[in-house]
Chains A and B, each alone.
Chain A
Amino acid sequence: MIINPIENGIVIDHIKAGKGMQLYNILHLGELSCSVAIIKNANSVKLGKKDIIKIDEVIDLDLDIIGYIDPGITVNIIRNGVNEKRVNIEAPERITNVIKCKNPRCITSVEQELPHVFKLTDRENMVYRCIYCESKAK
């Protein structure tokens, strides 16, 4: 399967197979007017199978969201057909308003205006906890 190389845009690479669509949705890529390609189950030396997202425009991406979904991802910024910048994503220390706390006893369940903030408490197992009630993100 061939997807044409992009001249100016972003390639989100090394996405764990199966997570491409989740990333597409959480980054609201469906709202873009440029071309966006999701390649599922591409062969990968590193991962066996991987997903890739190609965006035909350089846009601002929230790297914290990407890191939360999958810290193994690499983001490549392509300008004039050249890979100008390659960013190895890491799990962010904190994420704000990416996911919601599901604990019905949490203060965020009654005070709607509060930001939903989670902090990374266990990098090895990618455990995020609500900063208010310390419930594990699900």
Chain B
Amino acid sequence: MRSVIDILDLSTEEIDELIETALDIIADGKKYSEKCKGKKLATLFFEPSTRTRLSFEAAMYELGGQVLGFSDSGSSSASKGESVSDTVRVVSCYADIIAMRHPKEGAPMVASMKASVPVINAGDGGHNHPTQTLADLLTIKREKGAFEGITVGFCGDLKFGRTVHSLIGALSRYKNVSFVLISPDELTVPSYIKKEILDAKNIKYYETTDLEKAMPELDILYMTRVQRERFFNEQDYIRLKDSYILTPEKLKNAKEDMCILHPLPRVNEISVAVDEDPRALYFKQALNGKYMRMALILKLLEVQ
């Protein structure tokens, strides 16, 4: 029984395998439509999330399985004070696999230690969000063909942005990947990521506050939202939320085949005018997320 809490729980070979399965699903989805017949996915969302939950649910339905769960802690026994450990022990009796989102960091890890079925981390606070990273990786693979040698610019909230941390960790395992870290000074990548991942692996990167200056170098521009829920102080949020807004003008110097990614939801950091640009791939990225979640569910349920 295997859980996925952190993207690094999966080896690069396993990620290749998942991408291969996802591509096969894209090519012939019908083949997979009954693979999970009779299986149930529990979506335990202690924090509201529309797209991740719906993506997991759609993934399971498309595999022929069924879904049960809750979509915020108010409608779960957590509101009565039940612990994560107890909740997952009970849910393990009803479901074959669990997808869990929780506002506290490490909650899905606790769940995986207590559950008797596989647990997928669907986001734990500002910490990890491995299936978003799988969506990002499939998108990059489909668009660029390979991970090796690409330059990825991350822009926005790089401090609390869990998708950024996970993707940096995942891409750092491939050769000649370089990063441009674009953020206000208050929201830079945490030093432990720089020290323990980037410096330790001798990866080329630099930090800047200037998005437009960095633009021509980028093969991928990964935009993120400054998230209100990550701030203890509302004033800091208001001060920083509009630090970067991507507009068609700012894309003037970007490569013609650059990919614009965003984990969504977007607020205003990408102007809607950018949506028409063929380089804007964030909705395709969301679709890729569903395929990778399907591939992951199949893997963890050991369905052939």
Q: Mark A residues whose CB is within 8 Å of B.
A: 103, 105-111, 113-114, 121-122, 130-136
- Whether A106 contacts B109 by the Cβ 8 Å rule is no
Q: How far is the CA of A136 from the CA of B125 in the complex (A)?
A: 17
- Whether A134 contacts B85 by the Cβ 8 Å rule is no
Q: List 21 A-B contacts (CB under 8 A).
A: A105-B104, A105-B105, A105-B126, A107-B84, A107-B105, A107-B107, A107-B124, A108-B106, A109-B104, A111-B85, A111-B110, A113-B83, A113-B85, A114-B85, A114-B110, A122-B196, A130-B106, A132-B106, A132-B109, A134-B106, A135-B105
B102 contacts the other chain (Cβ, under 8 Å)? yes
B127 contacts the other chain (Cβ, under 8 Å)? yes
Q: Kindly name the residue among B104, B106, B125, B192 whose own CB sees the greatest number of chain A CB atoms within 10 A.
A: B106
Q: Mark B residues whose CB is within 8 Å of A.
A: 83-85, 102-107, 109-110, 124-127, 192, 196
Query: Which partner residue on chain B sits nearest A122 by CB separation?
Result: B196
Q: How far is the CA of A137 from the CA of B227 in the complex (A)?
A: 26
Query: Which partner residue on chain A sits nearest B191 by CB separation?
Result: A136
A106/B105 contact (C-beta < 8 A), A114-B110, A134-B127 known? yes
Distance (whole angstroms) from the CB of B249 to the closest CB of chain A: 37
- Whether B110 contacts A136 by the Cβ 8 Å rule is no
Q: How far is the CA of A119 from the CA of B85 in the complex (A)?
A: 21
Q: Which residues of B contact A103 (CB under 8 A)?
A: 105
- Whether B196 contacts A110 by the Cβ 8 Å rule is no
Query: Which partner residue on chain B sits nearest A112 by CB separation?
Result: B83
- Whether B104 contacts A107 by the Cβ 8 Å rule is yes
Q: Which residues of B contact A108 (CB under 8 A)?
A: 106
Q: Which residues of A contact B103 (CB under 8 A)?
A: 105
Q: How far is the CA of A103 from the CA of B192 in the complex (A)?
A: 15
Apart from A133-B104, A133-B125, what are 5 other A-B pairs with CB-CB below 8 Å? Answer: A103-B105, A105-B103, A106-B106, A113-B83, A121-B196
Distance (whole angstroms) from the CB of B174 to the closest CB of chain A: 22
Distance (whole angstroms) from the CB of A136 to the closest CB of chain B: 7
Q: Which residues of B contact A111 (CB under 8 A)?
A: 83-85, 110
Q: How far is the CA of A131 from the CA of B113 in the complex (A)?
A: 12
Of B85, B110, B126, B196, which contacts A132 at CB under 8 A? B110
Q: Which residues of A contact B109 (CB under 8 A)?
A: 107, 131-132
